[in-house]
Amino acid sequence: MMLVYDVVLPSHSISTLLGLLLMVALAYSFQAGFDLLRTRTLSHLGAAIETDFAPLIYRIISTSALRGRPQSESLQPIRDMDQVRGFLSGSGPSALMDLPWVLFFLAVLSFFHIWLGVTTLVGALLLIALAFLTDIKSRAPARLATEFAARRSSETEAIRRHAEEIKVMGLGGRAENSWLAVNRHYLATQQQLADISTGLGGIGRIARMLLQSTVLTVGAALVIDNKASGGVIFASSILSARALAPIDQSIGNWRIFISARQSWRRLDAQFAALRPSPSPTSLPPPEKTLAVEHVTLMPPGARVPTVIDASFTLNAKDAVAVIGPSAAGKSTLVRAITGVWPLASGQVRLDGGALDQWSSDALGTHIGYLPQTVELMEGTVAQNIARFEPDAPPELIVTAARTARVHDLILRLEHGYDTLVGPDGNALSAGQRQRIALARALYRDPFLIVLDEANSNLDAEGEQALIEAIFAVRRRGGIVITVAHRPSMLRAVDHVLVMGEGRVRAFGPKAEVMAKLNKQARAAQAAAPLVQT
């Protein structure tokens, strides 16, 4: 700009003008290549960071779900990592990396004249002060916006899962009012955050334009005072704009930067809380005993244990029915046995080895688990039975289905074993899901089979198939633990465990325990006062 006004125009030199154009074209070509390289590097960096931390994020999500955290909280790490990756792949880091160039442009302006440098420096300090003010004002609204976003997601998921109850019992208005209240809070915090960001950002842009005009004014005054050439007026305006551009861009990206910083802090705290999981020494497959030793367990979030000092031992070919009134601790006990929830005290041992002496994947091959609420994973029937094992042998899948007496039922489905079950298995009926989940529990003949009310959705045919499957497991030397509410399930077991108020009230051979319970029932009935009408 200075050469065009100070050299080219007075001399009318076309060759000099073309030479300047070539120089500028080369400079811009370098800048374009550098910007492309930097953008692609940052994009790959964001993807690489997410790839490196993906195993930790999976462990956080899995641990949160096992601890009973709501879905919105369990999925927060994914949103946080997306926020971090989005920031790294955007223009924010480029603006921050360009900040050191502010000093370079200030030095060049000062070389032209000290007052040009001082004027631009004052403007830069003003914009930096606006950036810090934006940071301070945005912290609290950004934190609240994240919290209300999680609450809104949690309420949305609850409405989706309980849509039938809400419709049937006339809860639509109350559910809607609750969701709208949370949504209003979320929108209010988002609006507050946007007002701060756009308001201070707008002030910054106006200040920058005013500063450019001020620089023009200072340059013109220097030319009038014969302290600079005419080209300095335009050159200083362009240089001041380039000097302040990184600061202005940083202010514009400050909201994203704050969100990414808060996301990273949450992730960092969760990463630090994860315990290292070294691979334990491989143990031989269990084939003899299951021992529950003085186990006490509290469900996630609870303050009172629901299983207290439970102890019993089972040998190969044993099957035990866990019975007792509601809220006696039956389901909590089987979760302790399978290792789903961490123990407050005590140990569960397979052939003498505590559960934590196996890795999670290795232990899973020795346990078949049918939970109280059955939800299949999206995929085919065969994939669910094989627990999504890659290249699972078809003969083992069919064997598990035959043992669960569900082979013929599967063949009657539209595509047989290749039928898609849909999200959570919703394409199947509750009874079909439960019987396929039973086949999944029996896949590869695990030593320990744990069934939590496995007959809750079964008809008489399905229940008979379940009983025969339990007998098949016992014949091959496995152990079966089943939570039973129907007396018919007692036919398949040889032991009974009675739970009451979180404690093992009785345990032993079926005949002895049932005789004891019948005796207690007769005594209680005899002691009851007669009711006169």
- pLDDT > 70: percent of the chain: 96
The three-class DSSP label of residue 48 is helix
DSSP H or E segment with residue 289: strand 289-297
Please tell me if the domain spanning 2-273 has the same topology as the one spanning 289-527: no
* Structure confidence at residue 527 (pLDDT): 72
Q: Which of these ranges, 23-27, 288-292, 300-304, 446-450, has the smallest mean pLDDT?
A: 300-304
Nearest to 490 by CA among 463, 516, 472: 463
**DSSP class of 392:** -
Determine the Cα–Cα distance for residues 103 and 105; give it in Å rounded to an integer: 6
Listed in order, strand segments (DSSP E) in 203-333 are: 289-297, 307-315, 319-323
pLDDT at residue 511 above 90? yes
Determine the Cα–Cα distance for residues 437 and 270; give it in Å rounded to an integer: 33
Q: What residues does each domain of the chain span?
A: 2-273, 289-527
* Structure confidence at residue 528 (pLDDT): 62
Dump pLDDT digits (tens) for 452-497: 988 877 888 888 989 999 999 999 999 999 998 888 889 999 999 9
What pTM value is reported for the model? 0.71
For domain 289-527, which architecture applies?
Answer: 3-Layer(aba) Sandwich (3.40)
pLDDT tier for residue 532 given thresholds of 50, 70 and 90: very low
pLDDT at residue 530 above 70? no
Q: Between the CA atoms of 165, 375, 57 and 50, what dihedral angle is there, to the nearest 10 degrees?
A: -100
Nearest to 153 by CA among 238, 71, 271: 71
What is the topology classification, in CATH, of domain 2-273?
A: ABC transporter transmembrane region fold (1.20.1560)
Higher pLDDT, 400 or 484: 400
491 CB contacts (<8 Å, ≥6 apart)?
467
Nearest to 336 by CA among 206, 499, 197: 499
As given in the structure block, the two tokens for residue 331 are 């389901």
Dump pLDDT digits (tens) for 119-142: 888 888 888 888 788 778 877 887
Determine the Cα–Cα distance for residues 144 and 137; give it in Å rounded to an integer: 13
Q: Which of these ranges, 166-180, 379-393, 395-409, has the smallest mean pLDDT?
A: 166-180
114 CB contacts (<8 Å, ≥6 apart)?
none
Nearest to 155 by CA among 184, 130, 180, 188: 180
* Mean of the per-residue pLDDT values of the chain: 86
Of the ranges 91-100, 101-110, 229-238, the best mean pLDDT one? 101-110
